[in-house]
Every structure is written in structure tokens, then in C-alpha cells.
Amino acid sequence: MSWRSGGRLRWAAAVPFALVGLLGAPVGTGAATGTRAPVERTAEPTEQVTEPAEEGALVPSYEAGLTPEDEKVKAFLTQNAVLEDIAAYASERIVLPQDVPLHAAGCGEANAFWDPRAQDITFCYEYLEELAPLLAAQQSKGTAEERSAQLDQDLVGVTNEAVLHELGHALVNLYDLPVVGKEEDAADQLSALLLASGDERHVGYALSTITSYAALANAAARGEQPLKVYADEHSLDAQRFYNWVCWLYGSDPDQYAPVVQTERNPDGILPPDRAGQCPGEFRQMEKSWSPALKPYLKT
Ligand SMILES: [Zn+2]
């Protein structure tokens, strides 16, 4: 399969030209990696979320880390107001029936989860600690500074993806939504729907997500993941990679046409058989999630 030639998923080669600049866009003006001192940024106080009482919102908080590495991730997320930005974005697009606490925390594992009993979402600092070296290894172009800025953007992107995925579980639970198929796939779909239909910054986060699944799938292809991943309730990373490529393409087939593999475009990463289904998949996702979406998304 062409996407695995050279041992790497070649998403970057297929990224539409117009998006190349986007991929290199820095995170705000003061983005920082976990390895260098974050630049000053004044985080918005969470009390400024001014939703009316009948509508809930994600309510961010940053808990103490368990390790010095956790504390670096906490500083990165705090100083870039990453959770606050996600909460504001979700409020624009999702109707939440109640406030949902969104904790960033040290968990002792690379994870993110919705807790149906506590009715809150936790994003673990370890998630970024695990992904950062994989994302960095995925990079092949640019100066050290450009790579660092790209890594920052990718880390913010995968944080968006993970939190919006957990928001999907929260919505299924809080609205008692019927889910056909795996709830994990439905949660991925909500995350993809919100990011792919967003502005350039959020589409960039969708691209970061695709890059992260490419990195994880490459690690799996190298035999660096245990066999138990096949028992996991999530789809495999390579499947999630293709799903995200498909959904992004399906959100705007004209713009993302270069990702489709054709005779004239043999480097396209999305097989044509799947590509033909993607616009329909994306429309179906909008329909499935419509009870929780703000009306303007229902186009
Ligand atoms: Zn999940």
C-alpha cells in the first residue's frame, strides 16, 4: 500500500497546497513546547464563560501534575489557554444541557475520559507526553523553529480532538442519544465534525489529528504496540487515520480532492472506493449529531 511506503503514512504529501501554510501556522503568538519556557500569555479567567443558565458549558480547570513532565504540559496548556479555547468553541456549536467540568490532570496514564458518574471530562497530561515524541518523529521538513511551532500546533490540535471526542461521549450520555455502531466511532465523528466544519485554525487541528493517527499507526506498524490494541473498543489507529481523512475530505470534496488516489494522482492517500462514500458519511454525521448541534450547523 502506497501510504506505508518508506514506513510512514504520507499524509503530508497529500495535503492540499492551500493547507500547507496552515500546517506551519504557529499557535497564537506565545506557543511553547514542553521543553522550552512558555511565553507569557494571560489566560482568560474561566468565570468569564457567560452562558445563560439554561445552557451548560465546559468548565475548564487545570489540576496539579503527578510528575515534573506533567507540570510542563500543564504550563503549556494553561499559558496557551487551550481548554478555555475548546470550551468557547464547543459553546458556539454545541447545546450542552448542563455544565460539564473539564479537568486537565495527571492521571498516571496517557488517556482522556468522560466519567458518567461524576459527569465530568478529564484530559490527562500524559496524553501529550506520549504523543509529543511520536509527532516530532513524524516531521521531516522545516527549520528547528518551524518544527517546534508545528509541534505546538499539533499538541493543541490533538488536545482539541481528544476533548471533543470525550464531549461526544458526554452528549451520548446526557442526551441518551441512540448510537448505531461503536460509540467510540460516533465520538470520533463528533470531534471530526466540529473541527472539519470550523475555521482554518480548527481545520488545522483536524490535520494535526490525522498526523497523530499516522504517527500512532506507524508505531503500530513497527510492532511498538502490544497485541491487546486489537481488543480495544476504539478502532485501530490506522482506521481512525483513514476515517479522519475521509471525513475531512467529505466535509468539502472540492477543496480536499488532492487526497483522493486516482490514476493521475497516485500519491493520494484516500482510496477511491472509500472517497466516494465520504461526503455521504459526513452528511450522516451531521444528521446523527443534530440533536446536540446549534441550529446554524444544520445545513
Ligand atoms: Zn472514547
Closest CA to 208 of 39, 3, 11, 8: 11
Q: Determine the distance separating the centroid of ligand 1 and the alpha carbon of 165, expressed in angstroms.
A: 6
Band the pLDDT of 180: cuts 50, 70, 90: confident
Model pLDDT, residue 226: 59
What are residue 66's phi and psi, to 5 degrees? -90, -20
Q: How far apart, in whole angstroms, are the C-alpha atoms of residue 98 and residue 55?
A: 6
Q: Does the structure show a pLDDT above 50 at 205? A: yes
Calculate mean pLDDT across residues 118-129.
96
246-279 pLDDT, tens digit per residue, is 999 999 999 999 999 999 999 899 999 999 999 9
Band the pLDDT of 2: cuts 50, 70, 90: very low
Q: Determine the distance separating the centroid of ligand 1 and the alpha carbon of 169, expressed in angstroms.
A: 7
Cβ atoms of 58 and 102 closer than 8 Å? yes
State the residue range of the domain holding 77: 2-297
- DSSP code of 122? E
Instruction: Select the more confidently predicted residue: 252 or 49.
Output: 252
Band the pLDDT of 225: cuts 50, 70, 90: low
Instruction: Look at the chain and report how many structural domains it folds into.
Output: 1
Calculate mean pLDDT across residues 219-247.
80
Calculate mean pLDDT across residues 166-170.
96
Model pLDDT, residue 293: 87
Q: Determine the distance separating the centroid of ligand 1 and the alpha carbon of 214, expressed in angstroms.
A: 18
Q: Determine the distance separating the centroid of ligand 1 and the alpha carbon of 24, expressed in angstroms.
A: 28
Q: Determine the distance separating the centroid of ligand 1 and the alpha carbon of 233, expressed in angstroms.
A: 8
Q: Does the structure show a pLDDT above 80 at 230? A: no
Q: Does the structure show a pLDDT above 90 at 54? A: no
Closest CA to 80 of 134, 23, 138, 30: 30
DSSP-based three-state secondary structure for 56: strand
Q: How far apart, in whole angstroms, are the C-alpha atoms of residue 278 and residue 248?
A: 8
Span of 105-119, 146-160, 219-233 with lowest mean pLDDT:
219-233
CB atoms inside a 10 Å sphere around CB 283? 13
Q: How far apart, in whole angstroms, are the C-alpha atoms of residue 185 and residue 206?
A: 16
CB atoms inside a 10 Å sphere around CB 187? 23
Q: Does the structure show a pLDDT above 70 at 139? A: yes
Q: Determine the distance separating the centroid of ligand 1 and the alpha carbon of 235, expressed in angstroms.
A: 10
Antiparallel, parallel or unpaired: β 100-105 and 58-62: parallel
Cβ atoms of 158 and 209 closer than 8 Å? yes
Q: Determine the distance separating the centroid of ligand 1 and the alpha carbon of 127, expressed in angstroms.
A: 14
What are residue 255's phi and psi, to 5 degrees? -65, -40
Q: How far apart, in whole angstroms, are the C-alpha atoms of residue 73 and residue 129?
A: 8
Q: Determine the distance separating the centroid of ligand 1 and the alpha carbon of 234, expressed in angstroms.
A: 7
Q: Does the structure show a pLDDT above 50 at 27? A: no
Cβ atoms of 214 and 9 closer than 8 Å? yes
Calculate mean pLDDT across residues 176-186.
88
Q: Determine the distance separating the centroid of ligand 1 and the alpha carbon of 30, expressed in angstroms.
A: 31
Q: How far apart, in whole angstroms, are the C-alpha atoms of residue 80 and residue 118?
A: 27
3-state DSSP of 234-275:
CCCHHHHHHHHHHHHHHHCCCCCHHHECCCCCCCCCECHHHH
Q: Determine the distance separating the centroid of ligand 1 and the alpha carbon of 164, expressed in angstroms.
A: 10
Q: Does the structure show a pLDDT above 70 at 122? A: yes
Q: What is the DSSP string of 232-244?
A: SSSPPHHHHHHHH
